[in-house]
Amino acid sequence: MRGVTDIQAWLTGPAVGCRGSRLFPTVANGSPAFGQYQPSVTGAGFELWALQVVDISGDRITDIPAFRDTERLFPPFNLPPHIGEQQTRVTGPV
């Protein structure tokens, strides 16, 4: 994706399932990152869905890879597998 038009098309099309997600900041290999939580299928809170790592070169974002192996990769980030409806923070490395 390049530019506002491509990103907008993605967010309102294939990525619409991420609507309502919560992001909590962390750091991965020195890069800014976010634990992404999607609304739970049970309707109670949010489930950990991906680790989004922001790759930056100069003053531009060059990539945002998503890592979905939550059981294996996420414990080092202290990201809980589930958060409550009203939770606004997750403790862990930031």
Reported as a single tens digit per residue, the pLDDT across 51-91 is 989 999 999 888 888 899 888 888 888 888 888 876 655 55
* Tokens 């976010």 belong to residue: 34
* Tokens 């993605």 belong to residue: 10
Q: Model-level pTM?
A: 0.75
Reported as a single tens digit per residue, the pLDDT across 32-50 is 999 999 888 888 889 988 9
